[in-house]
Amino acid sequence: MTTTTDRTPGDQPGLRHFLADDDLTWSEQREVLELAAALKADPYGRQPLAGPASVAVIFDKPTLRTQASFTAGIAALGGYPMLVDGRLAQIGIRESVADTARVLGRMTAAIVWRTYAQSALEEMAAYSGVPVVNALTDAYHPCQILADLLTVAEHTGGFSPQGPALAGRTFAYVGDGANNMAHSYLLGGALAGMHVRIGAPDGYQPDPAVVKRAAALAAGTGGSVTIVEEATAAVTGAEVVATDTWVSMGQEEEKDEREAPFRPYQVDDALLAGAEPGAVVLHCLPAYRGKEITEDVLEGPASRVWDEAENRLHVQKAILTWLLDR
């Protein structure tokens, strides 16, 4: 039974969450990205967690960059990262998501969750009483896209003078168009005013509902959304080329059957030659050299992958600071 002492979003005006890319408006996305750039220049310039306050950081899925960037970032913001092993906590199995949200919401300033179902994350937000951040679900990876957008700005001339953060830039993603990265690129890229192209084989194209949402966003930011089957059609003239593993977490049993349809989508020198001269390459990692990307491209002059990895730290500090300021 819910009591009057339970904290829910309705009890706290201004409480915001970051569960999907389009939880921000284009102007809010720009605000967060500019704050991330400021925190990169001055790592200890904001201390919203000084005390220190705790942030619950829950992992149901394997992690390296997410754990490293959130724990380091929370510490830099003056706080304490409360790491929660999802295998031990068994959220939604041993204890309901709603009950877990109520408990953690009374002990922490925010909750970060890397899990499977987007619906579970949304339930956590509904009951937490504190900001909830999506550190990856099967549907979206919005923190990674913020890091990618910051990286694009750093290497393609900065943020646009006004309006959406990267208005007019051309972005191509090739590979599994049905995964969380493709969906977040669609939403986050459209929100930034970019021309987003997804090149993916038949049967692995984005969720039509996400494409529709992205197209609606693009209509308001001056961007565009294009879905094609040919990798070369997606990449031609693009200023940014991105890819991701062909086998996401939980799809390991499909590894062999995915090899043939995805092989034409490998980011190699030949494919990259069709992009805009000086185009940059992104990959959220872990990378499987010789599969979705070649060693030559990953380690070559177009790669901005290591800056992209570092920028997870800066954008996540920014989104936590922004949410805690509401």
pLDDT in tens, 302-316: 999 999 999 999 999
User: What pLDDT shows up at residue 10?
Assistant: 45
Residue 141 bears catalytic tag:
yes
Quote the tokens at residue 103: 């408990």
The span from the CA of 113 to the CA of 303, in Å, is 29
Is residue 268 within 8 A of residue 296, CB to CB? The reply is: yes
Element (H, E) at 53: none
Residue 314 bears catalytic tag:
no
Residues in a beta bridge with 242: 173, 282
User: What pLDDT shows up at residue 8?
Assistant: 52
Residue 326 bears catalytic tag:
no
User: What pLDDT shows up at residue 65?
Assistant: 94
Q: Tell me: the pLDDT tens digits for 242-285?
A: 999 998 877 777 888 898 999 999 999 999 999 999 999 999 99
The span from the CA of 88 to the CA of 92, in Å, is 12
Residue 102 bears catalytic tag:
no
pLDDT at 36 over 80: yes
pLDDT above 70 as % of the chain: 97
Query: With b meaning 16 or more CB within 10 Å and e meaning fewer, what string describes 119-132?
Result: ebbbbbbbbbbbbb
Q: Tell me: the pLDDT tens digits for 75-131?
A: 999 999 999 998 899 999 999 999 999 999 999 999 999 999 999 999 999 999 999
* Residue of 266, 312, 314, 316 marked catalytic: 312
Q: What is the mean pLDDT of residues 18-29?
A: 98
Q: What is the mean pLDDT of residues 322-326?
A: 96
User: What pLDDT shows up at residue 252?
Assistant: 77
* Residue of 30, 102, 114, 258 marked catalytic: 114
Q: Tell me: the pLDDT tens digits for 144-173?
A: 999 999 999 999 999 999 999 999 999 999
Quote the tokens at residue 216: 């609606």
pLDDT at 1 over 70: no
Length, in residues, of the chain: 326
Residue 244 bears catalytic tag:
yes
Task: Enter the pTM of the model.
Answer: 0.95
pLDDT at 135 over 70: yes
User: What pLDDT shows up at residue 3?
Assistant: 41
DSSP state at residue 264: G
* Residue of 284, 304, 314, 316 marked catalytic: 284
User: What pLDDT shows up at residue 257?
Assistant: 85
Nearest-5° Cα angle at 216, 210 to 220: 140
Q: What is the mean pLDDT of residues 174-195?
A: 98
* Residue of 21, 22, 176, 244 marked catalytic: 244
Strand order in the sheet with 132-134: 80-85, 54-59, 110-114, 132-134
Query: With b meaning 16 or more CB within 10 Å and e meaning fewer, what string describes 68-100?
Result: ebbbbbbebbebebbebebeebebbeeeebbeb
pLDDT band at 11 (very low <50, low <70, confident <90, very high): low
